[in-house]
A and B are shown apart, each in its own frame.
Chain A
Amino acid sequence: EAGVTQSPTHLIKTRGQQATLRCSPISGHTSVYWYQQALGLGLQFLLWYDEGEERNRGNFPPRFSGRQFPNYSSELNVNALELEDSALYLCASSPTGRPNYGYTFGSGTRLTVV
């Protein structure tokens, strides 16, 4: 069974540009979660998508947005990039309605803003 896949692995952008990160969940998982892990700050919750809908949003500005496609894959968009957006962005998936299942994480996208 394929795990959660994320692309690209690394992304370098200039301040003010836009970044698009992609995630494919485990087959059969309908929930996708996005987290930001900046150096020394731990995992910060960004967004949760389930069945194509945004279910919850973390304390991030509106320039962080995303969507979930009919095949349950997801995209995270970060507009007007700032230097402090440099971080590891992790995507995770789980089956719908199974809170005891926990998450499976992808290997992440390392975003560097210069």
Chain B
Amino acid sequence: QKEVEQNSGPLSVPEGAIASLNCTYSDRGSQSFFWYRQYSGKSPELIMSIYSNGDKEDGRFTAQLNKASQYVSLLIRDSQPSDSATYLCAVTISGANSKLTFGKGITLSVRP
């Protein structure tokens, strides 16, 4: 079983819509959860972190964490063409301190 799984995508949404990106993880002891954005040819950039069950909002981005169901999601409201990128889910695996394990990512395309 893969440690961090993301829907393979790609995901296409119209401008102004809500984009929903999902991620599941296998280690129940995972403690820290992150979303990175990676534009084509660039390095990943941290956009959200979440550690407790529930929602965390930052501007147009909302991260949601459900540890019982072992999933974490990212909602992007009022999607813009500039949001078109690959989004990577990352999780700290228990027992490995701060080492992050990444999902394969999902590519989001926002249509003007």
Contact = CB atoms under 8 A, between A and B. Distances in A.
Interface string B15-52: 00000000000000001101000000011111001010
- Interface residue SS majority, chain A: strand
B55 to A, nearest CB: 17
B102 A56 contact: no
B72 interface: no
Interface stretch (B56-64, B73-81, B90-98): B90-98
Contacts of A106: 43
Contacts of A55: 97, 99
Contact of B43 (A100, A101, A102, A108): A108
Given A42-B105, A100-B49, A102-B34, A90 B44 contact: yes
B88 interface: yes
Given A43-B44, A43-B88, A99 B31 contact: yes
A83 B44 CA distance: 24
Nearest to A56: B99
Q: Interface residues of A toward B: which range?
A: 20 to 34
Contacts of A33: 99-100
B101 interface: yes
B67 interface: no
Interface residues of B, number: 23
B45 A105 contact: yes
A100 B42 CA distance: 23
A99 B102 contact: no
Given A102-B49, A105-B43, A43 B102 contact: yes
Interface of B: 31-32, 34, 42-46, 49, 51, 88, 90, 92, 96-105
Given A42-B103, A103-B100, 17 more contacts: A31-B98, A35-B102, A42-B88, A42-B102, A43-B44, A45-B102, A56-B96, A94-B98, A99-B31, A100-B32, A100-B51, A102-B32, A102-B34, A102-B100, A105-B43, A106-B43, A108-B43
